[in-house]
């Protein structure tokens, strides 16, 4: 498995708009086992995204999906920056969806 | 929803043992929507845990479950420390399990 997690800062006041875009774009992504979008509890502009994929190839391919490309274009003006990111290798747990074929 | 994520450092050479304990203890936790355990891709001793719960109450109660208490006792000597933790409020995404009744 392949994973990533990271914190994104929205332009002040735009976190909810950015969250909506992130959720809209993540509907159907081949090989995606988990993609959870969360508000940071302490920073009103910060969003955490945690991801698990069956492979890095499927993660990389997701960035070329039409709905993801469209979301990236819409999201760009709402993003102030990124911090605290890490690559991971998920090993198991609760809530790893079955990967759709793709 | 309530979430947490954080990085734990294992005592050198003990990451796999610690991962096994974390996975064994997370089998049935009421209100747990996601609990994913991952190796840090760049640090051979580091583990990421990302969690989503239907409520903070269920998260807090999980720490008192017998299997979790037992795992904490066994894990303690394998843990060198914690860093990079955050509380979150998950808003949605892929891989949020249905919460078992509890």
pTM of the predicted model, to two decimals?
0.92
Residue A15 CA to residue A50 CA, distance in Å, equals 17
Please determine, for residue B48, whether its predicted confidence score (pLDDT) is greater than 50. yes
A13 by Cβ neighbours in 10 Å (0-12 / 13-18 / 19+) ranks as exposed
Backbone angles phi, psi at A27, to 5 degrees: -65, -50
Please determine, for residue B100, whether its predicted confidence score (pLDDT) is greater than 60. no
Probe site for chain B from A32, A88, A89, A97 (most B CB atoms < 10 A): A88
What is the interface pTM, i.e. ipTM, of the complex?
0.90
In a domain, B99, yes or no: no
Domain that holds residue B70: 2-86
* pLDDT per position as a tens digit, A13-31: 999 999 999 998 877 899 9
* Count of helices and strands (H, E) across chain A: 3, 4
Q: How many domains does chain A have?
A: 1
In a domain, B44, yes or no: yes
In a domain, A6, yes or no: yes
Please determine, for residue B98, whether its predicted confidence score (pLDDT) is greater than 60. yes
Contact between residue B52 and residue B1 where contact means Cβ atoms under 8 Å apart:
yes
* pLDDT per position as a tens digit, A43-64: 999 999 999 999 999 999 999 9
Q: What is the CATH number of the domain that holds B48?
A: 3.30.70.100
Which of chain A's residues have a Cβ under 8 Å away from the Cβ of B5?
A: 5, 48, 50
């Amino acid at each position: 498995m392949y994973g990533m997690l990271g914190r994104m800062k929205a332009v002040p006041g735009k976190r909810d708009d950015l969250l909506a875009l992130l959720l809209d774009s993540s509907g159907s992504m081949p090989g995606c086992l988990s993609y959870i979008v969360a508000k940071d509890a302490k920073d009103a502009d910060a969003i955490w995204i945690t991801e698990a994929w069956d492979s890095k190839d499927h993660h990389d391919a997701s960035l070329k999906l039409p709905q993801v490309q469209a979301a990236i274009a819409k999201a760009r003006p709402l993003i102030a920056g990124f911090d605290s990111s890490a690559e991971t290798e998920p090993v198991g747990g609760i809530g790893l969806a079955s990967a759709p074929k793709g």
